[in-house]
């Protein structure tokens, strides 16, 4: 039994030494041929798709275009035909009252509509439904000239004066 054990130890040590020499030889000699059991690896080149694809065009169908101004999309067709863009042109002069007047290099007036919204106007501003134009601003009020068509189709001109309300207890000149 001792003979078999010693023979087994000798065979194992020879196998270990021969394996370590084979590994060192393949590591030190890079040009050595690979072992017969290992398959040779090939270089693989990736396949690329062509980049010349057209991008889809932006189309607005059934929704509001986010690249157009918001106020023009709110205006009705009648207002668009007349060219009404300013909110002052949508209100009637009966809904407007004068709050204050500023006299100086450029005369200005502050008007307020019935909902409480205030606007600053100057000479030449468009006010009212019938293409009213501010023609004069004085300490007493604002003069607005309106052009409108009567039932016969004639263009008439009406001049409206919006006067500034005097405070209680203040007497006129």
Cα–Cα nearest to 142, from 106, 173, 114, 101:
101
| Region 79-92 average pLDDT | 71
- 7 has pLDDT over 60: yes
Position 78 scores a pLDDT of: 57
pLDDT-wise least confident of 98-102, 155-159, 166-170: 166-170
First CA to last CA across the chain, in angstroms? 143
| Region 74-94 average pLDDT | 68
pTM for this predicted structure: 0.49
Q: Who wins on pLDDT, 150 or 53?
A: 150
Task: Note the pLDDT tens digit of each residue in 130-158.
Answer: 778 999 999 989 999 988 888 888 888 88
Q: Domains in the chain, ordered, with CATH?
A: 85-163 (2.30.30.830)
- 28 has pLDDT over 90: no
Burial of 47 (0-12, 13-18, 19+ CB in 10 A): exposed
**Proportion of the chain above pLDDT 70, given as a percent:** 72
Judge whether 129 and 83 are in contact, CB under 8 Å.
Answer: no
Q: pLDDT class for 23, splitting at 50, 70, 90?
A: low
Q: What is the mean pLDDT of the chain?
A: 77
């Amino acid at each position: 039994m001792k003979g078999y054990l010693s023979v087994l130890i000798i065979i194992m040590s020879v196998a270990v030494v021969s394996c370590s020499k084979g590994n060192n030889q393949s590591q030190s000699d890079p040009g050595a041929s690979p072992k017969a059991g290992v398959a040779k690896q090939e270089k693989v080149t990736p396949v690329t798709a062509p980049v010349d694809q057209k991008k889809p065009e932006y189309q607005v169908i059934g929704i509001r275009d986010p690249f157009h101004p918001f106020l023009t999309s709110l205006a009705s067709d009648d207002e668009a035909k007349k060219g009404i863009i300013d909110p002052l042109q949508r209100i009637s002069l009966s809904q407007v009252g004068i709050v204050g007047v500023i006299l100086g290099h450029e005369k200005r007036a502050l008007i307020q509509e019935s909902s409480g919204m205030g606007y600053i106007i100057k000479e030449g501003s468009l006010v009212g439904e019938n293409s009213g134009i501010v023609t004069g601003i004085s300490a007493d009020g604002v003069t607005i000239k309106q052009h409108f068509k009567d039932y016969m189709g004639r263009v008439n001109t009406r001049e409206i004066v919006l006067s500034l309300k005097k405070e209680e207890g203040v007497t006129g000149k």
